[in-house]
Amino acid sequence: MATMTYIQAINQALSVEMERDKNVLVMGEDVGVNGGVFRATADLYQTFGEKRSFDTPLAESAIIGTAIGLANHGFRPVPEIQFAGFVYECMDQISTQAARIRMRSGGRFNAPITVRVPFGGGVKTPEMHSDSLEALFMHSPGVKVVIPSTPYDAKGLLISAIRDDDPVIFYESMKLYRSIKADVPEEAYTVPLGKANVVREGTDVTLIAYGAMVHTAEKAAAQAEKERGVKAEVIDLRTISPFDLETIIGSVTKTHRAVVIHEAAQTGGVGAELSARIHEEAILSLEAPVVRVTGFDTPYPLTAIEDEYLPTVDRICAGIYKTLDF
């Protein structure tokens, strides 16, 4: 067991899987010699060589297109898209090639690709770097979408993603890279995809979040308890596609209220799908409509005002009180 930051856990997951399986390759812009813009791939080039950790041209469509070809021939590539806003350049390769190759080929080929994508706000990045575009891939059948919130989950979920035979989009919150630490086993272990984690028990309202917003939700739960004695249950989705509906419904039928939190724009977001499914599956258990606390329906704003865009503890508490006062 060792104390690791979120990004150290990601680096170690890559290292142990490259050591275990010679078919695991790391590729992307500056991921080789320099170890990536955030140093998530530091030392992999020096340890495993230029044929297994290598730099690519600045062309996201070429990165993912090459990864699909490699995956179809037995490799398990882990390409990095340097920032989430650049993923539009390879949407065709991910959603119409990687996601469909198993069905299209009648099972002859698959695409065991793990696409690492730094995302999220709170770090004062330029335009198109902090976008939260996870809902695009939630709407792409055949793709799994994973978003860890802790160093432990980051390592275990990344190992599970690399070993999975389907394409996985692995979102990494830039805000968490070096802001949190936790004890993480140094050996290989897995955290199952598609299984949520109840990080705080409660009886009065269910808070559902993922990535950096899990920590904001926990702070809001603590504030709501201090201000009004509310016992909020907090669920970390960990995987948004497929998401763990059983855990969500189990919690909502206990608390009778739900607030969904994410920093992506509201319309058509993950919260919209979760709200719909909760109302479909548990409407008779609800004592108030599901509330969403999200980013706004605008492009991600300039860094000077990004704090006004992201969900805050106070905004989440307002959502909690709205469900209680309905």
The pair of three-digit structure tokens given for residue 64, joined into one six-digit string:
């993912």
Contacts 24+ apart (CB under 8 A), 59-63: 59/89, 60/86, 60/87, 60/89, 60/90, 61/89, 61/90, 61/92, 61/93, 63/27, 63/28, 63/29, 63/90
Dihedral angle computed from the Cα positions of residues 239, 244, 249 and 250, in that order, rounded to the nearest 10 degrees: -110
Dihedral angle computed from the Cα positions of residues 127, 124, 218 and 14, in that order, rounded to the nearest 10 degrees: 80
Q: Which residues contact 280 (CB under 8 A, 6 or more apart)?
A: none
> HSE on the CB side for 308, CA within 13 Å?
7
CA-CA distance, 164 to 148, in Å (whole number)? Answer: 16
Residue 159: CB atoms within 10 A of its CB come to 21
The candidate with the shortest Cα–Cα distance to 144, out of 102, 185, 174, 204, is 102
Q: Is the dihedral of CA 172, 177, 179, 181 positive or negative?
A: positive
Q: How would you label 16-33 residue by residue, b for 16+ Cβ within 10 Å and e otherwise?
A: bbbeeeebbbbbbbbbbe
Residue 205, helix vs strand vs coil:
strand
- The rounded radius of gyration (Å) of the Cα atoms in the chain is 19
Spot the catalytic one: 73, 129, 215, 279: 129
Pairing of strands 181-184, 291-293: unpaired
Q: What residue spans of 76-201 are helical by DSSP H?
A: 91-92, 101-104, 134-138, 151-163
CB 256 within 8 A of CB 286: yes
139 is catalytic: no
Catalytic residues: 129
